[in-house]
């Protein structure tokens, strides 16, 4: 239908957009404190970037990507996430030659063919950070703390940080053998997708949302028992850093995240008030991704959070963000003949830095005053009548109802004084 948005998408109207602007302003100010600069990435990339970076056996690549062939015969994909794109930009623009780690944040739409539900859309907005070029475990702790402090600024409480280490290719080799052996013994209970992944990428089975597979994996061997000394020490230091700043967390051995590029630290930040889908933010370390995308071995760590889900959480927590700002001044014309004069005056006020509005439907003066009230204007300028012949206007305070006559030449100064500007 031409009168409805495609399934999984939605319009964000002006009143709600104002809340988005507030949220984005908080994000930008917060990231500056941590030294992260904004990066703006293409909405689509070569499909191979996500196949190689995100992983061919992930749900995103197998089931959820919006992929198309352009007129030049190239396979392109609307970005389902931004980490792989950030890594591509890092390499394309020779950022390894600059100060390390290179620290980025991004804001913008992502696209996944997913089942729409509360706080989840097929076109959705993400805020994420990426720090590329350092293997220091304090950087893992920093990105977790960046997210926690951001939520604290918004007033969101009772969050849970779930933490795990999924090791590196060295220690995962031994674990893979143990996991495959366990899963082979439960093949009949696994879904078709997990049976297909069993040999290609058995860790993906641990991330399956099918109830039967979840039941099976609850008894699977834990990766923590197979961590190599380097991964074990890295994980210990991440935990030590979090404890040192009072950041509470719980260890979740079942947490593996849904993307193939993760190594060592993985984490999710959850909030129980969201119901079944509790995750607000997820991320971790990806020390092999730069190399997978064609660069030299380079460590990295980051996270992403969906802003629609965050706004839903804030709403359910009773936290109100500022909405659309009301006009400071409303300009009303006594009769239609004064409409051009009202237009001239509203233009003058706007150019003087005052948020001004006027009537565009040629309503009666009484109706215009009601409109000024509905829009929340603090002051209304009434143009016309006997005052106009004296070069004056009437200025009405919409809160107290008091009204006075003011010379047009002094109006801007008077309004700025009343409005505290």
Per-residue pLDDT band for 1 (boundaries 50, 70, 90) equals: low
* 370 against 213, higher pLDDT: 370
Mean pLDDT computed over 184-191: 86
Q: Is the pLDDT of residue 314 over 90?
A: yes
Among 24, 30, 87, 106, residue whose Cα is nearest residue 310: 24
Q: Is 20 exposed, middle or buried (0-12, 13-18, 19+ CB in 10 A)?
A: middle
Among 44, 53, 41, 40, residue whose Cα is nearest residue 295: 53
Q: Is the pLDDT of residue 347 over 80?
A: yes
Q: Is the pLDDT of residue 118 over 80?
A: no
Q: Is the pLDDT of residue 244 over 80?
A: yes
Mean pLDDT computed over 351-358: 97
Report the C-alpha gap between 96 and 298 in whole angstroms: 9
Q: Is the pLDDT of residue 303 over 90?
A: yes
pLDDT score recorded for residue 35? 98
pLDDT score recorded for residue 352? 97
* 54 against 142, higher pLDDT: 142
Q: Is the pLDDT of residue 258 over 70?
A: no
pLDDT score recorded for residue 140? 98
pLDDT score recorded for residue 139? 98
pLDDT score recorded for residue 386? 92
CATH topology of domain 14-168+228-316: BirA Bifunctional Protein; domain 2 (3.30.930)
Q: Where are the domains of the chain?
A: 14-168+228-316, 329-416
Q: Is the dihedral of CA 357, 362, 364, 367 positive or negative?
A: negative
Instruction: Write out pLDDT tens, residues 270-290.
Output: 999 887 778 999 999 999 999
Instruction: Write out pLDDT tens, residues 165-177.
Output: 999 988 888 888 8
Tell me what the pLDDT averaged over the chain comes to: 93
Local structure of 330: helix, strand or coil: strand
Mean pLDDT computed over 403-417: 96
Mean pLDDT computed over 24-48: 98
Per-residue pLDDT band for 333 (boundaries 50, 70, 90) equals: very high
Q: Which two tokens stand for residue 274?
A: 């969201």
Mean pLDDT computed over 176-200: 85
pLDDT score recorded for residue 89? 98
Among 248, 67, 95, 93, residue whose Cα is nearest residue 157: 248
H or E element that contains 125: strand 123-132
Q: Is the pLDDT of residue 99 over 70?
A: yes
Percent of the chain with pLDDT over 70: 99
Provide the pairing of β-strand 356-358 with 329-333. parallel
Local structure of 36: helix, strand or coil: coil
Domain spanning 329-416: CATH superfamily: Anticodon-binding domain (3.40.50.800)
Mean pLDDT computed over 350-375: 97
Q: Which two tokens stand for residue 242?
A: 């979090």
Q: Is the pLDDT of residue 259 over 80?
A: no
Mean pLDDT computed over 53-78: 90
Most confident by average pLDDT, 79-83, 208-212, 276-280: 79-83
pTM comes to: 0.89
Candidate from 206-220, 240-254, 269-283, 341-355 with smallest mean pLDDT: 206-220
């Amino acid at each position: 239908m031409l009168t409805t948005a495609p399934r999984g998408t939605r319009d964000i109207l002006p009143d709600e957009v104002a809340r988005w602007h507030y949220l984005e302003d908080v994000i930008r100010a917060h990231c500056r404190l941590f030294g992260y600069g904004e990066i703006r990435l293409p909405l689509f990339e070569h499909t191979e970037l996500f196949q190689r970076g995100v992983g061919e056996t992930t749900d995103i690549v197998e089931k959820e990507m919006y992929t198309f062939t352009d007129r030049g015969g190239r396979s392109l994909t609307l970005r389902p996430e931004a980490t792989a794109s950030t890594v591509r930009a890092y390499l394309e623009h020779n950022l390894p030659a600059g100060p390390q780690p290179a620290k980025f944040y991004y804001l913008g739409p992502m696209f996944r063919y997913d089942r729409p539900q509360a706080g989840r859309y097929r076109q959705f907005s993400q805020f994420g950070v990426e720090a590329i070029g350092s293997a220091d475990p304090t950087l893992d702790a920093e990105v977790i703390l960046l997210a926690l402090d951001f939520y604290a600024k918004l007033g969101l409480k009772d969050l849970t940080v779930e933490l795990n280490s999924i090791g590196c290719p060295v220690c995962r080799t031994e674990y893979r053998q143990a996991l495959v052996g366990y899963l082979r013994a439960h093949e009949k209970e696994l879904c078709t997708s997990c049976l297909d992944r069993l040999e290609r990428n058995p860790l993906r089975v641990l991330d399956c949302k099918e109830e039967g597979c979840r039941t099976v994996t609850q008894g699977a061997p834990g990766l923590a028992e197979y961590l190599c000394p380097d991964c074990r020490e890295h994980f210990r230091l991440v935990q030590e850093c979090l404890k040192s700043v009072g950041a509470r967390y719980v260890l979740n051995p079942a947490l593996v995240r849904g993307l193939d590029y993760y190594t060592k630290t993985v984490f999710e930040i959850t909030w129980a008030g969201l119901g079944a889908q509790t995750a607000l933010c997820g991320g971790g370390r990806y020390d092999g991704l730069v190399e997978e995308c064609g660069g030299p071995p380079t460590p990295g760590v980051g996270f992403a959070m969906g802003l629609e889900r965050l706004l839903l959480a804030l709403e359910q927590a009773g936290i109100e963000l500022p909405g659309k700002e009301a006009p400071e001044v409303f300009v009303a014309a006594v009769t239609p003949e004064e409409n051009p004069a009202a237009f001239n005056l509203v233009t003058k006020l706007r150019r003087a830095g005052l948020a001004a509005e006027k009537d565009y439907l040629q309503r009666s003066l009484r109706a215009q005053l009601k409109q000024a009230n509905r829009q929340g204007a603090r002051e209304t300028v009434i143009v016309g009548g006997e005052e106009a012949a004296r070069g004056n206007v009437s200025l009405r305070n919409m809160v107290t109802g008091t009204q006075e006559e003011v010379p047009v030449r002094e109006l801007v100064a008077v309004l700025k004084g009343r409005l505290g500007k």
